[in-house]
Amino acid sequence: MAADPIFVGTPRFGAARNATANTARDGTGVLGSVFTAGVSGSRIDRIVIRAGSTTTAGVVRIFVDTTSTVYLWNEILVTAITPSGTVVSFERVLISPEPGVPLLILPASYILKFGTHNAETFDVMAIGGDF
């Protein structure tokens, strides 16, 4: 293992919008493709999940697609919120609990995807970079 830290060579931002209900936890059904890893792999430092409108209690599921199998990586509980001029829509930011450590590392061509349990609009954004 190298003693020197590895920094990204090219910063990257990926995003997807999805409003199709998908209760599957096995990676089937409609999923939004958020971020595809570069040819040398990528790191993701932050994932932002934001609702586009009113939400009901549910789940947003994050998957990693290896191009041969899709794995459930994380489930984020969504609370019921009715946004207005004084209430912001649902938002959750995922970051690594360790400073300087990536939230997720994706090997070349792996794809970060997501689905929403209820038929509600969500935007998922990934901030990171390619090695």
The pLDDT tens digits of the residues spanning 47-86 come to 999 999 999 999 999 999 999 999 999 999 999 999 999 9
> Is a pLDDT exceeding 50 seen at residue 1?
no
2 belongs to a structural domain: no
4 belongs to a structural domain: no
Nearest to 115, CA basis, from 83, 79, 74, 82: 74
Cα separation of 73 and 104, whole Å?
10
pTM of the model: 0.92
- Which CATH number goes with the domain that contains 101? 2.60.120
Q: Of the given ranges (32-36, 92-96, 100-104, 123-127), which has the lowest mean pLDDT?
A: 100-104
**Full residue range of the structural domain in which residue 110 is found:** 10-130
70 belongs to a structural domain: yes
Distances (CA, A) of 126 to 1, 23, 30, 34, 90: 27, 22, 19, 7, 17
113 belongs to a structural domain: yes
50 belongs to a structural domain: yes
Total number of domains constituting the chain: 1
1 belongs to a structural domain: no
